[in-house]
Amino acid sequence: MAACAPEAESSPIGAQAGGDGIIIVREKRHEHPDQFLAAVKEIQSRCFEAKAVVAQAQGWTYDPASERLSDTEIFQLDTERTAEYFEGKRYAKVVSGARMDVSRMEPIRGGSCKPVAVRFKSVEVDDGNCNVFRVQYDVAAKTGQREILKNVCAAPGAPPTQGGEPVSVPGTSSQCKWTPKVKLGAVVLPTPNECTLLPSPVHKGTGRPLVAIRMMPDHLRSASTPLPGMQATSMLGLVTIEQAVQISVGTRMPDGTFDMPADAASFPLAH
């Protein structure tokens, strides 16, 4: 049976029905959350062990329980939310969340064995007239940097190939199809592992793919060495899924969606 056009889900704050826009909001989820929890707990346990050795050698008391994170606190260390807005030839993307930082973990007196969550945010807008601006926030410092690009019209790339049977996007009434694996002989080539919307995988006005689900290696693989000579080997199998939690079709955009964010107006320009 042919897939029907996605029905509009409940709209984000400020969005209204009756337009021709599309909004896709994806949130990062670990494919195997138990592995993620185990990996972070391993990182902490290695720090606990090193700190206990230091405490014993220096004659002070150390209780690892005072620094052990709960499961809820661990999941809050690594989050990401991507909101994409399509209307006519205009496009906007807002990415925000937190990244786990283990660089400040120190197994010494006065040091901490707690990883910290570093907040991040970025905005990209294409006004449909060959002008693009980007904002990279330094959330902790309450500042950031702007970048403005003019006359950067680019031809749309080739539309993503879809294969296999339609799959339902959990929590929505939409369906998508995965990008098929590409082989060169017996070798599977690295291709974007994306599930794009049905009935059309691209937005007609912008030529950009309409991605409902994306799967990729977890970025924490490169952040799994909290202490010299130590590595949380359980990080190596982690996979991240970006899954749509919101798909709104046929909607009017919230006011200011395609404007430079007001809180970034005073940020310095990138050179």
Cα distances (Å, whole numbers) of residue 2 to 48, 195, 196, 250 = 56, 17, 15, 20
DSSP string covering 235-249: GGG-EEEEEEEEEEE
DSSP string covering 26-41: EEEEESSHHHHHHHHH
**Under DSSP, is residue 263 helix (H, G, I), strand (E, B) or coil?**
helix
Element (H, E) at 53: helix 33-58
Element (H, E) at 266: none
Residue 197, beta-bridge partner list: 176
**Under DSSP, is residue 24 helix (H, G, I), strand (E, B) or coil?**
strand
Residues 176-230 have pLDDT tens digits of 999 887 777 777 666 668 899 999 899 989 999 999 999 877 666 555 444 444 4
- Please confirm whether the linkage preceding 199 is cis (ω < 30° from 0): yes
pLDDT, averaged across the chain: 83
Nearest Cα neighbor of 147 from 270, 18, 21, 10 is 270
Residue 50 structure tokens: 């090193």
0.75 surpassed by pTM: yes
Confidence band of 152 (pLDDT split at 50, 70, 90):
confident
